[in-house]
Structure 1
Amino acid sequence: MNQLGQRHQHFREVFKARDLLTVTVLVLSLFITYGLWDTAVRSADQAQQMTFDFRVRESTVRIEQRLAIYEQMLRATKGLFNSADDVTRGEFRSFIASLSLPEMFPGIQGIGLSVIVSPAAMSRHLATVRAEGFPEYAITPEGKREVYTSVVYLEPFFGRNLRAFGFDMYSDPTRRAAMDHARDGGTTGVSGKVKLVQETGGDVQHGFLMYVPLYRKDAPHATLEQRRANLIGWVYAPFRIDDFMVGISGELAEDLDIEIYDDERVSAEAKMFDSNKLIDATSVVHQLKRVRFIQAANRTWTIVITAVPEFERRMRWDRPQLILQSGTSISLLIALLLWLFLDDRARALHAADQAMQLALYDALTGLPNRKLLEERLGQSLTKAKRSSSHVALLFIDLDKFKPVNDNFGHGYGDLLLKEVAKRLQSCMRESDTASRLGGDEFVILLPDIEGREGTALVATKILDRVMQPYEIAGHRFEISASIGAAIYPEDGVEGKVLIKAADLAMYAAKNAGRATVRFVPRKETAPPTVHNGDWPQPT
């Protein structure tokens, strides 16, 4: 009975070991699946971010280009007046008609001429315009003012534009500010948000106006006084902002919510345009959201661009889900096969080799991790004791890395860490080891090094290489590094003591202003010790 009990106990232990090993392999397989899935998710997020940033740049550039084109059109119209002593209404109409404004230039209501009318010249001005076939012509709004302006030309001269004929834009403070800016600077002026006089009762849009000053032909206007004295009026264009933005985002305009604010502040009062009224960029935190500023002559426009759910659905990548589902299925299959064929030594060795790779190398950079570094350091110290040679450790902590993660996201931070790892490896000999402890901390093992001089040479080479600019996904990053150096046997004869010494030297480099290399100070006291037998922890 005792023998039978012993056999049952043995079988129970065998079954327990089988189950334990199967569960362990399953958990490990699921962990690997999770790592692959997480990497795929981050890659998908990065691709989505890059696509969104491209769309943001594209839309912003198109707005700037459209403003520049319309400014050139006004300057061309100004050239018409400067090329002749008198431009008749018919000549002006023919010139503007040749531009094909409605077909070629969305958003622009027309191009016109607003002239200055002094109170003394009011009667003569009214009589002249009325004699051209407009007997009811008058300058509006009514009232006494020191100076008047009047829209005398505006093409196309029909529909909404008829409402602006005779309008004194200078009577409105918002328009006047842009007109004064154009007049005094001899340059283009853009008004703040206004309601155009062309607006009727329906489909009302916010608008703005662009002005180019027109001075008397051949009259000087080099100084402020000359420009004010010789001003005739302004060539100008009114814009309805919704029409102005037609086609800015291309064929996939529904993917983005574009909001334009006539100010550097994002506020309801300054909002001129909103392509998607269902999304309020001022009250909701969006992952895919960018704020850009463009200069519209004398005005600064704030452009807030947010991805709508349709963009995220269209950009959704099925690969992470496929990896998760496939990885889970494969993990279960492996566990089942291991449970059925536990005595298959080949399968067991293969699974162990997979686990070894994960245990000894950093998943992000592919560099040796802390465990493998510790093993290689021990081997190097053993060899150095036999050959009376030197071993150096460089403890590297990246400077200015945290703002990259904070401002651009961990996707960019991971790409930057990979580039740093490549640069470190490019500075290494085959016998050297570049490892990543975690975060932005790296350790370099230099066996058989030429003492302090050789270590300083390698450390300086690494620092110069790390500090060179990085071009990643259309962005330029500049970082540096603080490097602490410790040398065997001067700074320690044990691996963990040597690591601690290099870590302290690295902090000395940071305290010295960063972007530098520091060695362990030469003192008569014993080298630093490691408390509790632990490695320095990542900061």
Structure 2
Amino acid sequence: MQEFADGTPMRGNLIPPGTGMKNLERRPHQIRQIFRAREMLTLAVLALSLFITYRLWDVAARSADQALQTTFEFKVREANIRIEQRLAIYQQMLRATVGLFHSADDVTRKEFQSFISSLSLPEMFPGVQGIGLSLIVPAADKDRHIAAVRAEGFPEYTITPEGARDIYTSIIYLEPFFGRNLRAFGYDMYSEPARRAAMDFARDAGSAALSAKVKLVQEGGSAIQNGFLMYLPLYRNGAPHTSLEQRRANIIGWVYAPFRVDDFMHGVSGEYADELDIEIFDDETINAESKMFDSNDALDATSNERVLKRVSFIQAANRTWTVVTAASPQFEMSLRSDRPQLILQSGISISLMISLLIWLFLDDRARALHAAQQAMQLALYDALTGLPNRKLLEERLGQALNKAKRGHSHVALLFIDLDKFKPVNDNFGHAYGDLLLKEVAKRLQNCMRESDTASRLGGDEFVVLLSDIEGRNGTALVAKKILDLLVLPYEISGHTFEISASIGATIYPEDGTDGKSLIRNADLAMYEAKNAGRATIRFAQRDTQHNSAVMHAANQP
């Protein structure tokens, strides 16, 4: 629906127009549709693009997480395998030492030292503090045993800790025999419950056994580490030890190896120091008391906040170690793929760019149509009142006449010229005159049917097209209604104006069979109304039509 210049909606003027008029009247709706489509399509494309971006990012992120998880799992398995392999190697080392004692009835200290030296413990077996022999000393043989060892050149040798016990054990061989290992010389490991439990298990099972977490007697000073010991039973040469009773009866001691856990794990965790936080717990209980090793005190591998974390169990001879491994932030950063972030950033950028291009395209299209609509509006409508101008009136009049010819109906024209309008312009200025013309246009519109057209030819002249009217009587009723409405006072910006109008009327086909003659005769009839005293209505007379025809013929070349 068209609007006046001040925004008031028009009524009427809806005679089915020609192709050009149809396009004109449909164009505002098309423009609104394009503007709506601009928002809806842009949002739809943006939403779809962002959804596709999210899906691609999600797939890439899942793939990156899976790759990170796979790499982490591989490193965890590799670290655990190295721990198991190291324990197995140390067990074989102890078996070789047991074989040394089985190869001879008496292995001297010198022979033991030479054998252990050939193993190159510091270079080949990192983490082990040494290899030793703990001999069982019956209480009855204690003094004789101490005297014999002292006679070898160790005058201060004794069995520690002191105290009366049914059975003593003593570390008599331990290589390398210097430094912190000297503190273990003569120590009775069987007197300490954790060590005794492992020694009993090794004796009864005839296999290797590990102690629980202990503090080695070698420890001293500030750099104290947790420790554990590995034992293999040593039975009397040639004596049977297939049954439990035989093993208990023929046990003479244990070949063992003490380990400082941090040193033991250095070769394992050192390679992953920047990637993994490895924590080892004795048995299957995870708490501070059972913790044997922590590769990174600044991190807590057991925390629920750690995303990449694995709890594993290693069967270390007779004991079960719980190994909790978590990825360090450096590990996650080094392996975290930038591809998901790149996809996300690129996808968002492309989505916004596509949406912007669609927005700009539709916006330009809508604005171009709007500009064309405005140009057409200026070409076919009066800029001040918003009423159809002469060009649009003539086209609609032609359409109405064609319809009337087919339907044998009537069409009427009312030519309206305002009375007493010039004094308004002269006394109050054109601004008030323009406001008054707008009010006149509104009143004309209020008198129109949907099929009628009220137009402004210019100045204070208006023409009303009445289609499918009931002859002279119907035309007179509409003209009277218009005149009665136009003569009412006008309240404009605090001023009251009283004007009137002179109206000339013509009817098709009585007063003309074409648009030009109908307009011309209505114009002449309007002048007759003015000459009759203004504020009145006059229909075209036959003599008026005759004079009009004569004047028209005289003007022809």
Short-chain TM bin: 0.5 to 0.7
Where does residue 200 of structure 1 map in the other structure? 220
Where does residue 333 of structure 2 map in the other structure? 313
Where does residue 52 of structure 2 map in the other structure? 32
Where does residue 139 of structure 1 map in the other structure? 159
- List structure 1 segments (4+ residues) > 4 angstroms apart after TM superposition: 1-6, 340-343
1:238 aligns with 2:264: no
The answer as to whether partners of 1:164 and 1:198 remain within 8 angstroms in 2 is yes
Q: Secondary structure at the match of 1:81?
A: helix
Residue type of the alignment partner of 1:290: R
Where does residue 43 of structure 2 map in the other structure? 23
Q: Secondary structure at the match of 1:144?
A: coil
Where does residue 129 of structure 2 map in the other structure? 109
The answer as to whether partners of 2:98 and 2:255 remain within 8 angstroms in 1 is yes
The answer as to whether partners of 2:189 and 2:196 remain within 8 angstroms in 1 is yes
Q: Secondary structure at the match of 2:256?
A: strand
CA distance in 1 between counterparts of 2:189 and 2:54 reads: 65
Give matches, 1:178-189, under 5 Å.
178-189=198-209
1:125 aligns with 2:145: yes
CA distance in 2 between counterparts of 1:32 and 1:335 reads: 14
1:262 aligns with 2:282: yes
The answer as to whether partners of 2:278 and 2:301 remain within 8 angstroms in 1 is no
Where does residue 112 of structure 2 map in the other structure? 92
- Among residues 173, 189, 192, which one is paired with 1:169 in the alignment? 189
Residue 19 of structure 1: how far off its partner (Å): 3.0
Residue 73 of structure 1: how far off its partner (Å): 0.2
Residue 14 of structure 1: how far off its partner (Å): 1.8
Residue 247 of structure 1: how far off its partner (Å): 2.1
Q: Which has the higher contact order (CA 8 A, sep 6+)?
A: 2
Where does residue 267 of structure 2 map in the other structure? 247
Q: Secondary structure at the match of 1:279?
A: coil
Q: Which runs of 5+ in 2 are unaligned?
A: 3-9, 11-20, 364-557
Residue 282 of structure 1: how far off its partner (Å): 3.6
- Among residues 87, 97, 100, which one is paired with 1:77 in the alignment? 97
The answer as to whether partners of 2:302 and 2:324 remain within 8 angstroms in 1 is no
Q: Relative to structure 1, is the Cα distance of residues 173 and 46 closer, same or farther in structure 2, using a 3 angstrom cutoff?
A: same
The answer as to whether partners of 1:107 and 1:240 remain within 8 angstroms in 2 is yes
Residue type of the alignment partner of 2:320: T
- Among residues 341, 352, 356, which one is paired with 1:336 in the alignment? 356
Q: Which runs of 5+ in 1 are unaligned?
A: 344-539
CA distance in 2 between counterparts of 1:338 and 1:282 reads: 53
Q: Secondary structure at the match of 1:246?
A: helix
The answer as to whether partners of 1:116 and 1:150 remain within 8 angstroms in 2 is yes
CA distance in 2 between counterparts of 1:131 and 1:78 reads: 25
Give matches, 1:498-509, under 5 Å.
none
Residue 255 of structure 1: how far off its partner (Å): 1.0
CA distance in 1 between counterparts of 2:294 and 2:272 reads: 16
Where does residue 303 of structure 1 map in the other structure? 323
- Among residues 244, 269, 273, which one is paired with 1:224 in the alignment? 244
- Two-structure CA RMSD over aligned residues (Å): 1.8
Give matches, 1:393-404, under 5 Å.
none
Residue 12 of structure 1: how far off its partner (Å): 1.9
CA distance in 1 between counterparts of 2:157 and 2:115 reads: 23
Where does residue 63 of structure 2 map in the other structure? 43
Q: Secondary structure at the match of 1:213?
A: strand
Where does residue 308 of structure 2 map in the other structure? 288
Where does residue 469 of structure 2 map in the other structure? none
Q: Secondary structure at the match of 2:266?
A: coil
Residue 340 of structure 1: how far off its partner (Å): 4.5
The answer as to whether partners of 1:267 and 1:282 remain within 8 angstroms in 2 is no
Residue 127 of structure 1: how far off its partner (Å): 1.2
1:274 aligns with 2:283: no
Residue 316 of structure 1: how far off its partner (Å): 1.3
Moved more, 284-293 or 72-81: 284-293
Residue 9 of structure 1: how far off its partner (Å): 3.4
CA distance in 1 between counterparts of 2:338 and 2:250 reads: 67
Moved more, 55-64 or 329-338: 329-338
CA distance in 2 between counterparts of 1:27 and 1:226 reads: 81
Q: Relative to structure 1, is the Cα distance of residues 340 and 312 closer, same or farther in structure 2, using a 3 angstrom cutoff?
A: same
Q: Secondary structure at the match of 2:268?
A: coil
Residue type of the alignment partner of 2:227: G
CA distance in 2 between counterparts of 1:38 and 1:245 reads: 39
Residue 24 of structure 1: how far off its partner (Å): 1.1
String of CA shifts for 1:57-89, please: whole Å, max 9, x gaps.
011111000000000000000000000111111
CA distance in 2 between counterparts of 1:284 and 1:328 reads: 33
Residue type of the alignment partner of 1:314: S
Give matches, 1:366-405, under 5 Å.
none
TM-score (norm 2): 0.60
CA distance in 2 between counterparts of 1:122 and 1:201 reads: 31
String of CA shifts for 1:95-151, please: whole Å, max 9, x gaps.
101111112211100000000001111121111100110011000000000000000
Q: Relative to structure 1, is the Cα distance of residues 252 and 190 closer, same or farther in structure 2, using a 3 angstrom cutoff?
A: closer
Residue 6 of structure 1: how far off its partner (Å): 5.0
1:214 aligns with 2:222: no
Q: Relative to structure 1, is the Cα distance of residues 45 and 168 closer, same or farther in structure 2, using a 3 angstrom cutoff?
A: same
The answer as to whether partners of 2:229 and 2:257 remain within 8 angstroms in 1 is yes
The answer as to whether partners of 1:107 and 1:245 remain within 8 angstroms in 2 is yes
CA distance in 2 between counterparts of 1:252 and 1:281 reads: 14
TM-score (norm 1): 0.62
Where does residue 405 of structure 1 map in the other structure? none
Residue type of the alignment partner of 1:64: E
Residue type of the alignment partner of 1:274: D
CA distance in 2 between counterparts of 1:282 and 1:252 reads: 17
Q: Relative to structure 1, is the Cα distance of residues 285 and 340 closer, same or farther in structure 2, using a 3 angstrom cutoff?
A: closer
Give matches, 1:412-491, under 5 Å.
none
Bigger CA radius of gyration: 2
CA distance in 1 between counterparts of 2:172 and 2:92 reads: 21
Q: Secondary structure at the match of 2:273?
A: helix
Q: Relative to structure 1, is the Cα distance of residues 329 and 283 closer, same or farther in structure 2, using a 3 angstrom cutoff?
A: closer
The answer as to whether partners of 1:118 and 1:148 remain within 8 angstroms in 2 is yes
String of CA shifts for 1:127-186, please: whole Å, max 9, x gaps.
110011001100000000000000000000000000000000000000000000011111
String of CA shifts for 1:314-337, please: whole Å, max 9, x gaps.
111100110011111111222233
Identity %: 71
CA distance in 1 between counterparts of 2:321 and 2:205 reads: 20
Residue 242 of structure 1: how far off its partner (Å): 0.2
CA distance in 2 between counterparts of 1:193 and 1:317 reads: 41
String of CA shifts for 1:390-430, please: whole Å, max 9, x gaps.
xxxxxxxxxxxxxxxxxxxxxxxxxxxxxxxxxxxxxxxxx
